Amino acid sequence: MDFSIKPIEAKTGLAAVKTGCLAVGVFEDKKLTAAAKELDRKGAVTAALKSGDITGKAGSTLLLRGLDGVAAERVLLVGLGNDASVSEKNFLSAAQAAARAFSNLGASDGAIAFPFEEIKNRDVSSAVRGAVLAIRDANYRFDQTKSKKDPEKGGVKKVAFLTSAGAAAAAKTAVAQASAVANGIALTKDLGNLPSNICTPTYLAGVAKKLAKDFKFGVEVLDRKQIEALKMGSFLSVTKGSDEPPKFIVIKYNGGKPKDAPIVLVGKGITFDTGGISIKPSASMDEMKYDMCGAASVLGTFRALGELGLKLNVVGVIPTCENMPSGRASKPGDVVTSMSGQTIEILNTDAEGRLILCDALTYVERFKPAVVVDIATLTGACVTALGHHNTGLFTRHDEAHDALAEELLAAGKATGDTAWRMPIEDAYQEQLKSNFADMANIGGPPGGSITAACFLERYTKKYTWAHLDIAGTAWKSGAAKGATGRPVPLLTTFLINRANGK
């Protein structure tokens, strides 16, 4: 799908726009947007609303052909909901509805004239970015593992967003940024949706190497012997039961000045999680292929970085392995020594994500980072707390960490890839006490997502850090089963804002 910006000519207006299909918005209660009114020269649009052929409900559509005085071959009416204010949700529903309608047309090009400057809580740039991402999401397909590929969809392949002349420059930048982000999201979805017999730690390392080759990133992949030399005893305890070799991936984007401190993204890469000896119930265990979505989001963000060309330095760190039961696997009650020298009593082998992340969080100290953000499908408790709408955001509570939290929350709000800040307090640290080690790897059911974050926090004392628990937002179950690509929009927008000094 190709996207472009086309300023509306003041003299000729929308009626003169030549395109296979022109999409305009209509509201509930039979009200027209300014764009729809401009095309209603002979009353055809008003008549369609009065007849009840379209209600104006967000996401509803009606296709009209051959309107008198309109150069476009077709006009697509798209519902925007209540006209009091166009909400973000209704706007994105309308964009996705337009994408679905476009895909079934005999036209190869289309144009969208939504009220981009009237979307609640969005400026023109963020509205256009949202529309691009919504359209790309509606057109995403995964058929890599099918013997017969899904037939190539016809319809519109080129979409122009029609804006005022004054907004055109900002909208053009937004399209370029959104296209890069959409490519990153697509990579993240593809990696998440691949089965674990294909998407192994070695496969993820191969993807990192290909990205490095394509976009001139730096990359290093450490194998078991190198991981052992670093004394990552906590990471190694998770991979003991698997025949798949672990990998520790480091990928570097150097767009800033050589001495600029990098932003470090750390992604959990458990390519399949059985729970180990503390084995999970079999129902829905297939979804544990998604336990590497943190790693996938880091690679997807780097895919976007390769196109964005931001002036900052970013390092991605991905510890990746399987968590399997076998005669070699770690057992409940085992005590291991992390790279930091701190010892951990493993009370539950299914709390393995924190065991690989803690060594990665110690490793990143060598980069003297500006900030570190880890991304992990870490706890079912976060799903219980926040459902599937918000990612859990955890940081310490001080000036530097509050500022980082606000940056991440703002980036999420701007993209609809939202997060919600959760507490980290000393009172929760008490739950990690162990009689036999410096800490236990679980703190019991109460506040499970918080104690998991508290565990990670013990390894991040030397830099400013945030933890994103994406267990509820990285994938969908049921009929819509599949990876979502989150939080690539949040992360890339966070990086764009950093590069722009925001």
The domain ranges of the chain are 2-140+156-162, 184-499
Residue 29's pLDDT is 85
Once rounded to an integer, what is the mean pLDDT over residues 117-126? 90
Q: One of 354, 396, 458, 498 is an active-site residue; which one?
A: 354
Residue in 157, 224, 231, 280 annotated catalytic: 280
CATH topology of domain 2-140+156-162: Leucine Aminopeptidase, subunit E; domain 1 (3.40.220)
Q: How far is CA 440 from CA 241, 263, 346, in A?
A: 20, 29, 6
pTM above 0.75, yes or no: yes
Question: How far apart are the C-alpha atoms of 208 and 320, rounded to whole Å?
Answer: 12
Instruction: Quote the pLDDT of residue 443.
Output: 96
Q: What is the mean pLDDT of residues 354-379?
A: 98
Which one is the CATH code of 184-499: 3.40.630.10, 3.30.360.10, 2.160.10.10, 3.40.50.300? 3.40.630.10
3-state secondary structure 467-495: EEECCCCCEECHHHCEECCCCHHHHHHHH
Asked whether the predicted pLDDT for residue 152 surpasses 80, the reply is: no
In the annotation, is 354 catalytic? Answer: yes
Known catalytic residue at 280: yes
Residue 45: its pLDDT value, please?
93
60-111, pLDDT tens digit by residue? 999 999 899 999 999 999 999 987 789 989 999 999 999 999 998 999 999 9
Dihedral of the CA atoms 52, 54, 56, 60 (nearest 10)?
A: 150
Lowest mean pLDDT among 4-13, 130-139, 178-187, 389-398: 4-13
Q: From 262, 227, 479, select the one nearest 363 (Cα to Cα).
A: 227
Cα distances (angstroms) measured from residue 239 to each of 221, 251, 255, 319, 371: 16, 21, 34, 11, 28
Nearest Cα neighbor of 411 from 486, 330, 299 is 486
End-to-end alpha carbon distance in the chain: 30
Q: Give SS3 for 18.
A: coil
